[in-house]
Amino acid sequence: MGNRIQLRLPFHLLLLFLFVDFCHVTAKQWDGIIVTESDYQSLKALKHEFIDPKGVLSSWNDTGPAGACSGWAGIKCVNGQVISVQLPWKGLGGRISEKIGQLQSLRRLSLHDNALVGPVPTSLGFLPNLRGVYLFNNRLSGSIPPSIGNCLLLQTLDLSNNQLVGIIPPSIANSTRLYRLNLSFNGVSGSIPISLSQSPSLTFLALQHNNLSGSVPDDWGSVLGNYSSYNLQSLALDHNLLSGNIPSSLSKLTMLEELNLSRNQIVGSIPDNIGNITSIVSLDLSGNNLTGEIPTSFTNLSNLTSFDVSYNNLSGAGWFSTVVNED
């Protein structure tokens, strides 16, 4: 019989070797930081879907000491998990892979000012830690995914200047931390969700240059529990197809500084209580079908520096122009 040599390892050393081998299979490691396999595969999928004529993503590889948590362009990690993807102004084309939904710790997605096409990924709604989405100035198409309403920590959503269509999902307002929403310069249609006018946190709402129709919501400033939408400072609804009257509930927005309802199909008179918004600095109601006179309460608007009611059917506006232009 031939000689046999048996090597018996202590049990604790055997477990160690198995653990090291497991880590090699399930994660990528650079500079002592282990990146989860899920995040690694997600980044690879993103790179595969992007078109990168400038070679910005050349650092996205698994060779050498640099990796997703130390040397990959635009990527920031904490404890081996991707928390930020920031690649604005990089000339990127292609699509945003749905596998971005695997980056469970992602907080910030910034891909603005590129040439990205295709839809906004539905899987963004799978990211519970998402705080900021900056996808403006691209060529994204399709509708806004309602799943974004699942991101309860979302603070900023900017999808402006794309080619988006469909309606504005009411679920967008689910986050009580959302303070900036910009969907301007797209092709979204339908009515403005009441949920936006009742948002407890919005300070900036930009929906201009779309195909929105129906009336301007009349629930601004409605109290929701311990909150109200009094925080709104800028409201831009111009260049749409909005009709109906100017809602009197706008007067509840006591922190409002900018209001633009121009280039719509709004009718009726200007509510007298709009003169109660003493914080307002810029007011544009031009290009509608407004009638009647400018309310005398507008003399209360001591902060008003820009005021436009041209291209309406108003009468007796001369006295107010004199008041506004006084030093």
Segment 84-105, tens digit of pLDDT:
999 999 999 999 999 999 999 9
Point out the least confidently predicted range of 107-111, 154-158, 216-220: 216-220
pLDDT-derived band at 322, boundaries 50, 70, 90: very low
* Whether residue 129 has pLDDT greater than 90: yes
> Which of these CATH numbers, 3.40.50.20, 3.40.50.150, 3.80.10.10, 1.10.510.10, describes 75-308?
3.80.10.10
Would you say 160 and 135 are in contact if contact means Cβ atoms under 8 Å apart? Answer: no
pLDDT in tens, 149-203: 999 999 999 999 999 999 999 999 999 999 999 999 999 999 999 999 988 899 9
- CA distances (Å), origin 126, targets 99, 102, 103, 209, 231: 10, 8, 9, 30, 28
pLDDT of residue 317: 60
In this predicted structure, what is the pLDDT of residue 309?
95
Residue-wise pLDDT tens digits, 265-285 = 999 999 999 999 999 999 999
Task: Output the CA angle 235-241-158, nearest 5 degrees.
Answer: 45
pLDDT level of residue 15 (50, 70, 90 thresholds)? very low
**CA 258, chain centre distance (Å):** 19
Question: What's the average model confidence in pLDDT over 128-148?
Answer: 98
* Res 63: pLDDT: 53
Q: Does the pLDDT at position 27 exceed 50?
A: no
What pLDDT band is residue 66 in, cutting at 50, 70 and 90? Answer: very low
pTM, entire model = 0.87
Could you state, in order of their start, the residue ranges of all structural domains in the chain?
75-308
Q: How far apart are CA 280 and CA 64, in angstroms?
A: 57
pLDDT of 22 = 34
* Residue 68 neighbours by CB distance under 10 Å: 25
**Vertex 109: Cα angle to 107 and 115 (nearest 5):** 175
- How many angstroms separate the CA atoms of 126 and 138, rounded? 23
CB atoms within 10 A of CB 305: 10
